[in-house]
């Protein structure tokens, strides 16, 4: 059995549920962080005039915290629905790079499993799976799905709760809720950093984003995409997968 791949398909009826529930259980600490910035997003969405039903439906269908927050911020800034949706899609393009880096997880899967995997793969459960693999554990698709399913439930509950209780918190910034999303991504990025070999791709990504935004020509959403592509390209050329 190759390291880091799913068990042989013949053994999955026996083992898939074990990996699924392990992923759901072990991602709980990260899920608590997701709940915090889910509440922050719910408060933001309420300010944009979205109802609890709309936020819950968005969470289940889109399930992309960064994209949902960016799209909602654009709505609050006066952008139209189409412009907000495009901004969210652009930011979420980074997941193409994430899923490409773990492409062996989806190899040989049926179309519905690939579609489900694409929907439930996030920064958090991917980072957790890679971290556990680095410790020598043989984990794959169902572990990733267990973590993703847990995060989906937590995200939807937290965002809806944020909308419901928005009226009770008149000044979210006073509680530091607006920084929760940024703090969560800092923690995720730290867990993904493997040391000196990752330094050049990361520096290139940061430099591309800074240069793009500083030019005044490229918007922040496109700058993030360009930075991710630039960093990934450098990593690929240097032999980092």
Digit-coded pLDDT (tens) for 83-136: 677 767 766 766 777 777 788 888 888 999 999 988 898 888 888 898 888 888
Digit-coded pLDDT (tens) for 10-25: 445 557 888 999 999 9
- Average pLDDT in the chain: 78
For residue 173, the model assigns a pLDDT of 59
Lowest mean pLDDT among 56-60, 98-102, 140-144, 224-228: 224-228
Digit-coded pLDDT (tens) for 130-162: 888 888 888 889 999 999 999 999 999 999 998
For residue 154, the model assigns a pLDDT of 94
Q: Model pTM greater than 0.85?
A: no
Element (H, E) at 95: helix 94-101
- Determine what percent of the chain is predicted with pLDDT higher than 70: 73
Cβ–Cβ < 8 Å for 126, 102: yes
* Predicted confidence band of residue 186 (pLDDT cuts 50, 70, 90): low
Cβ–Cβ < 8 Å for 153, 128: no
Burial bucket for residue 217 (CB in 10 Å: 0-12, 13-18, 19+): exposed
Residue 52's φ and ψ, nearest 5 degrees, are -60, -40
What distance in Å separates the CA atoms of residue 239 and residue 236, rounded to the nearest whole number?
Answer: 5
For residue 8, the model assigns a pLDDT of 45
* Predicted confidence band of residue 4 (pLDDT cuts 50, 70, 90): very low
What distance in Å separates the CA atoms of residue 100 and residue 122, rounded to the nearest whole number?
Answer: 13
Domain ranges for the chain? 9-192, 195-241
Cβ–Cβ < 8 Å for 83, 111: no
For residue 230, the model assigns a pLDDT of 78
Rg of the chain on CA atoms, in Å: 19
Chain centroid, CA 233 distance in Å? 20
202 has pLDDT over 90? no
């Amino acid at each position: 059995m190759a390291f880091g791949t799913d068990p042989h398909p013949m053994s999955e009826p026996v083992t898939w549920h074990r990996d699924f529930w392990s992923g759901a259980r072990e991602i709980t600490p990260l899920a608590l962080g997701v709940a915090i910035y889910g509440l922050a997003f719910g408060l933001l969405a309420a300010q944009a005039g979205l109802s609890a039903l709309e936020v819950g439906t968005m969470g289940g269908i889109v399930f992309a915290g960064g994209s949902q927050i960016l799209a909602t911020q654009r709505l609050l800034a006066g952008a139209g629905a189409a412009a907000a949706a495009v901004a969210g899609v652009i930011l979420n393009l980074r997941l193409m790079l994430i899923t490409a880096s773990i492409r062996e997880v989806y190899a040989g899967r049926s179309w519905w499993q690939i579609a489900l995997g694409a929907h439930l793969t996030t920064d958090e459960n991917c980072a957790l799976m890679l971290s556990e693999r680095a410790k020598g554990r043989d984990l794959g698709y169902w572990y990733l799905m267990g973590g993703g399913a847990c995060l989906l439930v937590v995200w939807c509950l937290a965002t809806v709760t944020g909308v419901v209780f928005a009226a009770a918190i008149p000044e979210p910034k006073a509680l530091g809720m607006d920084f929760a999303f940024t703090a969560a991504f800092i923690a995720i990025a730290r867990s993904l950093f493997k040391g000196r070999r990752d330094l050049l791709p990361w520096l290139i990504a940061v430099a591309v984003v800074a240069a793009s935004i500083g030019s005044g020509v490229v918007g922040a959403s496109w700058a993030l995409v360009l930075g991710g592509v630039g960093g990934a390209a450098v990593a690929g050329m240097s032999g980092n997968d």
